[in-house]
Structure 1
Amino acid sequence: MTQDKQAPAAGNRPLFFDSHAHLVADDQVRYPRNPMKRAASAPPRPPGVIGIPGGKHGPNPINEVPDVSRMLVWMKEENVDGAVAVQKRMIYRYDNSYILDSSDAYPDIFSAVVILDAEDPATPGTVRSYIEKHGLAGVRLFGGREPDGSMPWLNSPQALKTWEVAEEFGLVMDLEVLAVGGGGPSVPAIVELARRYPHVRIVLDHLLEPEAASGADFGLDERFEKLAHEKNVYFKFTSINLDEYREADVPAEKVLRRAVDMFGADHIMWGSDIGTSSGTYKEMVQ
């Protein structure tokens, strides 16, 4: 090897980021838990996905609790330079204290994405407050689900007031849209929102959860192709996707190839989903 083509030193490696980490505090006095159950109308998760026993993870899947003290160690061990700290709704609901305190304490490592109620009239003002006090990175809205799987909160009149704040400040709007038949039915509303709010970076969790086992396109069908034309729409490829593909005997690398060919590598980012999905952080990074 010639001197001008030496391998880069460890300190010059590419930066590595985790786009989806759910921090969960050990300290339950300062950060009390308020767990909730999945709604009866929510699409069922099969065994082996999001820590549910069974499937190919076996009867006792590992679910690490990512208190920030351990998360910092794991990230250092795996050369992960930064992470998006995403509120854990199933444990804390709309109390974003731990996510915000963690990002405040380690602003160079964690960026906070809070979860708020799309239909709460206080939400737009809360977002403004979080921007001013905490340098908020993004918002994840949630709301109810209709019997047919539709989610009217996504672009309801009340929710649009929060979208307007996001547009004003150029925030990320991080969306998990779980619906009967995958996220495909929500695509028209997402396209409309992307065009209405061009300064908002819309990030779709878990590739918008296409039905991976359906056909050669792995559920990334003509509905999803419409999203490829919206340059402010981005995707996370996470451990939930890997779990679902493993349980369905679908080759994950082919799904990812399909997604990259459709949306572009610059519009897809890996997320561990630590704090929800099964496995050690080391396994997720690998």
Structure 2
Amino acid sequence: MKIDAHQHYWDPARGDYGWLTPELSALYRVFGPDDLKPLREAVNVECTVAVQAAPTVDETRYLLKLARSEESIAGVVGWVPLDAPDAPALIEKLARDPKFKGVRPMLQDLPDDRWIEIASIEPAIRKLIELDLAFDALVFARHVPSLLAFAKRYPELRIVVDHGAKPPIRDGAAGWQPWADAIEQLAALPQKPYCKLSGLVTEAAPNCDEKILEPYVEHLLENFGAQRLMWGSDWPVLNLNGGYAGWHDAARALCVRDPDLKNTDEEAIFGANARAFYRL
């Protein structure tokens, strides 16, 4: 089964997507399952993981409601105020829905880059561990020192790094570091976190091609290996600089190009890893 490990659905009229403004004309409309269906079917993607795009519990409930009537949504990664006193109870309540698979605190948008290291979130994280839920880390390289400290504090927590930690591909050679070192440090953590092969096109200059993406994909493969990397579209954000089939085919070509990869590795990256990690 081929799985898209990272995509979004939203309705701007809901009013809680602070980043989603009319200026983002390619994104500022309703995107739902009927929009994605022909795109994923064209590349034989059977199901997806829908990931939060607003820092509200209401949006998480919106996604879970969609998932109840949409078979192709295999799991939902939602948002919870992890530092709130009632966070553990809220996590437990959301987890009663079998499609609730984890949380994402949108670390990249928080004013303090060290939040994940210093915030009072232990009760919430312990509840995630107790319920075997996942933690999506939406970070840039600058967040990695604090993410490393956080991960070492909770070795039982299942962590996945979103979008390959968002390398600044558009900056060329000047953007390779400190991102490359950050990836090596994250991949070496004892709990063996996973990483999403997603979001790279959005971080590149317009009209990027496989040659530009190749060193970044190779670095992720080298460090996380085929058994800890999972492909995701990041649709519809992907529409800012590409298309669904184009990114799917480019990612597949870049992975298959590696002479050490086997058919089972391709199956892992494009489905089996997401299924295992998110308990789909």
TM-score, L = length of structure 1: 0.71
- RMSD between aligned residues: 3.2
Corresponding residue for residue 235 of structure 1: 195
Residue pairs, 1:205-224, within 5 angstroms: 205-212=162-169, 213=171, 215=173, 218-219=176-177, 220-224=179-183
Residues 40-92 of structure 1 deviation map (CA, whole Å, 9 limit, x = unaligned) = xxxxxxxxxxx977xxxxxx7587843123333432333102111111217x6
Contact 1:194 1:232 in 2 (8 A): no
Contact 2:76 2:102 in 1 (8 A): yes
Give 1:171 shift.
Answer: 1.2
Q: Distance in 2 between matches of 1:25 and 1:184?
A: 30
Q: Distance in 2 between matches of 1:145 and 1:274?
A: 23
Q: Distance in 2 between matches of 1:192 and 1:164?
A: 16
Q: Secondary structure at the match of 1:158?
A: coil
Q: Secondary structure at the match of 2:231?
A: strand
Residue pairs, 1:254-265, within 5 angstroms: 254-265=215-226
Residues 230-281 of structure 1 deviation map (CA, whole Å, 9 limit, x = unaligned) = 243111122x311322449671012101211122122222211113231443
Corresponding residue for residue 173 of structure 1: 135
Contact 2:83 2:124 in 1 (8 A): no
Q: Distance in 2 between matches of 1:262 and 1:158?
A: 31
Corresponding residue for residue 230 of structure 2: 269
Inter-CA distance 283–141: structure 2 relative to 1 (3 Å threshold): same
Contact 1:114 1:138 in 2 (8 A): yes
Give me the identity figure in percent. Answer: 22
Q: In structure 1, give the amino acid aligned to 2:17.
A: P
Question: Are residue 188 (structure 1) and residue 145 (structure 2) matched?
Answer: yes
Give 1:207 shift.
Answer: 0.9
Inter-CA distance 68–25: structure 2 relative to 1 (3 Å threshold): farther
Q: Distance in 2 between matches of 1:109 and 1:145?
A: 28
Q: Distance in 2 between matches of 1:223 and 1:36?
A: 28
Contact 2:202 2:237 in 1 (8 A): no
Corresponding residue for residue 4 of structure 2: 18
Q: Secondary structure at the match of 1:215?
A: helix
Q: Distance in 2 between matches of 1:214 and 1:284?
A: 19
Q: Secondary structure at the match of 2:238?
A: coil
Match of 1:158 among 120, 133, 138: 120
Higher relative contact order, chain-length normalized (CA < 8 Å, sep 6+): 1
Question: Are residue 75 (structure 1) and residue 40 (structure 2) matched?
Answer: yes
Q: In structure 1, give the amino acid aligned to 2:95.
A: I
Give 1:157 shift.
Answer: 4.3
Inter-CA distance 198–172: structure 2 relative to 1 (3 Å threshold): same
Q: Distance in 1 between matches of 2:173 and 2:39?
A: 37
Gaps of 5+ in 2: 250-280
TM-score, L = length of structure 2: 0.72
Q: After alignment, is 167-176 or 203-212 more displaced?
A: 203-212
Contact 1:118 1:153 in 2 (8 A): no
Residue pairs, 1:1-286, within 5 angstroms: 15-25=1-11, 32-37=14-19, 65-89=30-54, 94-106=58-70, 109-142=73-106, 145-146=110-111, 150-177=112-139, 183-212=140-169, 213=171, 215=173, 218-219=176-177, 220-230=179-189, 231-238=191-198, 240-247=199-206, 251-278=212-239, 279-286=242-249
Rg bigger for which structure?
A: 1
